[in-house]
Structure 1
Amino acid sequence: MSVDIATVKRVAHLARIAVTDEDAQRMTGELNAILGFVEQLNEVDVSGVEPMTSVIPMDMKKREDVVTDGDKANDIVANAPATDENFFLVPKVVE
């Protein structure tokens, strides 16, 4: 894949970055070098390599996926000036 000046300007426009023609020309070369390096990485055979989460072998810490209310409702509304059944009470602002 090759990046041209039009692509650099389009990406800069999408990112809301002002790019001059000289900067776009320079970035074209830099981005093509980066993409060339990524293409080199794609050529490496990693078929026998297992994914790693750390350089030290360790088991992933897992917890049971259970939906709860967090048991924090009373703590959350504790400092509110007015509450009703763990809901904040606020003054009416729309007639």
Structure 2
Amino acid sequence: MSEITPDLVRHLGVLARIQLSDDEVQRLTGQLDAIVDNIAKVSQVATPDVIATSHPIPLQNVCRADVVGETLTQAQALQNAPDAADGRFRVTAILGEEQ
């Protein structure tokens, strides 16, 4: 027995503020009914002793050690800048802001 009826699909369309044609209602009735049936099948086999998983293979992050390395000096960072002032990159104003 089908749980999803065309009237239910039309009602859901109204709730979602989606205008559905008769063809769409018929197509969605079958599709939503198949979805509900599949969820029911999964619910039958899902038991409390089966742990829910998001991925079938256990994963873990692989991280390297956080080691401080050589960094640029302020002068090195600014040496190729097209424009610099007061030890900072100088850029044109954006969004109508003036400096």
- Normalised to the residue count of structure 1, the TM-score between the two structures is 0.51
* CA distance in structure 2 between the partners assigned to 1:2 and 1:47 by the alignment: 26
* CA distance in structure 2 between the partners assigned to 1:46 and 1:16 by the alignment: 37
Aligned-pair CA distance for 1:49? 2.1
* CA distance in structure 2 between the partners assigned to 1:11 and 1:45 by the alignment: 28
Q: Deviations over 1:25-51 (max 9, x none)?
A: 111000000000001001104221234
SS in 1 for 2:19: coil
* CA distance in structure 2 between the partners assigned to 1:53 and 1:30 by the alignment: 25
Structure 1 residues not aligned, in runs of 5+? 59-95
Query: After the TM superposition, which parts of structure 1 deviate over 4 Å for at least 4 consecutive aligned residues?
Result: 51-55
Q: How many residues align?
A: 58
1:56 corresponding residue in structure 2: 58
Structure 2 residues not aligned, in runs of 5+? 61-99
* Equivalent position amino acid for 1:42 in 2: S
Aligned-residue CA RMSD (Å): 2.1
* CA distance in structure 1 between the partners assigned to 2:12 and 2:35 by the alignment: 15
Structure index of larger Rg: 2
1:18 aligns with 2:52: no
Closer, same or farther: CA 56–19 of 1 in aligned 2, 3 Å: same
